[in-house]
């Protein structure tokens, strides 16, 4: 089993938990960016508003596992499929 196959299997096993973890990490990064912007001597109100809106969207996204499926699982599945296809091609050439 390749690294990508193992990763895919682990994510699929507990997709909901993985998704929640991703959203928590994303929100943490956004919160840190917001705090850093507000701490500047001259904070940019547009940046603050964009970060605030992004945090609101992330909060909404917590309940939508399809986001993680689209952003992580599908590309990983495609990569695994390509790896398998590539392995098959190598086998055919060596026969």
The 3-class SS string of the chain reads CCHHHHHHHHHHHCHHHHHHHHHHHHHHHHHHHHHHHHHCCCCCHHHHHHHHHHHHHHHHHCCCCHHHHHHHHHHHHHHHHHHHHHHHHHHHHHC
35-57 pLDDT, tens digit each: 999 999 999 999 999 999 999 99
Q: Give pLDDT tens digits for 58-77.
A: 999 999 999 999 999 999 99
């Amino acid at each position: 089993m390749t690294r990508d196959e193992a990763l895919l299997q682990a994510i699929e096993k507990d997709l909901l938990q993985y998704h929640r973890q991703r959203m928590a990490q994303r929100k943490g990064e956004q919160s840190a960016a917001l705090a850093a912007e507000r701490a500047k001597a001259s904070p940019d109100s547009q940046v603050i508003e964009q970060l605030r809106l992004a945090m609101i969207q992330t909060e909404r996204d917590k309940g939508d596992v399809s986001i993680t499926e689209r952003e992580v699982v599908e590309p990983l599945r495609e990569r695994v499929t390509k790896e398998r296809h590539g392995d098959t091609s190598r086998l055919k050439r060596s026969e």
